[in-house]
Amino acid sequence: MQCIVNRRAQFSASHRYWLPELSEAENIEKFGACSRFPGHGHNYVLFVSLAGELDEYGMVLNLSDVKEVIKQEVTSQLDFSYLNDVWTEFQQTLPTTENIARVIWQRLAPRLPVVRVQLFEHPELWADYIGNSMEAYLTTSIHFSAAHRLAHPNLSDKENAEIYGKCARTHGHGHNYHLEVTVKGEIDPRTGMIVDLGALNQAIEDYVIEPFDHTFLNKDIAYFGEVVPTAENIALYISNLLRSPIQELGAKLYKIKLIESPNNSCEIYCTDDESESSSTSAVENQRALMPV
């Protein structure tokens, strides 16, 4: 039986975004604070997903062996290091989160059946790499607070209460929403980036956070005057808002995940043709980008 197992590891390292062929002003313009000398550091958290058949002992791999391989090939070399200098790959292509994930895959693949590398630079920024040449995924997360009422405009209060329960109460209720935006793109062979992170965060701020934060969605967002602001509909609307701005930045919107509460969340996967949620596309994409 085919099975996927996940192994967690961590390392602390510093890096700097700086291209010697650019002037100081050009580096600052392109990389902002990340260009500062001598660099900055992170506590990286690494998840390695491995696939294989279950053996007679109920294992895909001996995790003690996996731990040792990851230590030899990755963490012992990267921990407490300056990434720009530690591996030659980072002298050609900068050690961005997405590029570090790609190179870790390359280091591990000869010794382990890797199907996915996920690297967290910090809890609100991480990258996924699944072995597709220079293609990678980058996720950034952010929060906004808003109120809503779940009530269809064509139904009576009684009918809405039967469908939505307490969520249909007249004055609504609020949530601290946690939004995760995942983009897909090709890693630039020089900068190591699939998208300008500052520009991506600004687009999310402009199109979502600024208009949504501290609002009553039904009243303050025209779209939700006619559409019930369930978590699913909010996520779908956000995906439609961000699709074009992200494409203009040179990447593709891959997934929107909206966490309404610790108990409720939803995900919208975006196809190449349109932003939509479908059971088929969701299952197929979830196999490619499995959460740990």
CA distances from 223 to 113, 229, 276 (A): 46, 9, 17
For tokens 């499995």, the residue is: 290
Q: What's the per-residue H, E or C state across 2-66?
A: EEEEEEEEEEEEEECCCCCCCCHHHHHHHHHHHHCCCCEEEEEEEEEEEEEECCCCCCCCCHHHH
* Residue of 3, 122, 214, 248 marked catalytic: 214
Return the CA Rg of the chain: 22
167 as an active site residue: the answer is yes
* Partners of 127 in the β-ladder: 119, 138
* Residue of 152, 167, 186, 205 marked catalytic: 167
Contact 246, 200 (CB under 8 A): yes
Distance of CA 34 to the CA centre of its chain: 20
For tokens 């996924």, the residue is: 128
124 as an active site residue: the answer is no
Mark out the alpha helices in the chain (DSSP H runs): 24-31, 63-70, 76-78, 83-86, 89-92, 97-108, 157-164, 197-204, 210-212, 217-220, 231-248, 279-288
171 as an active site residue: the answer is no
Burial 42-60, CB ≥16 within 10 A → b, else e: bebbbbbbbebeeeeeeeb
* Residue of 98, 121, 180, 260 marked catalytic: 260
Residues assigned a catalytic role: 167, 214, 260
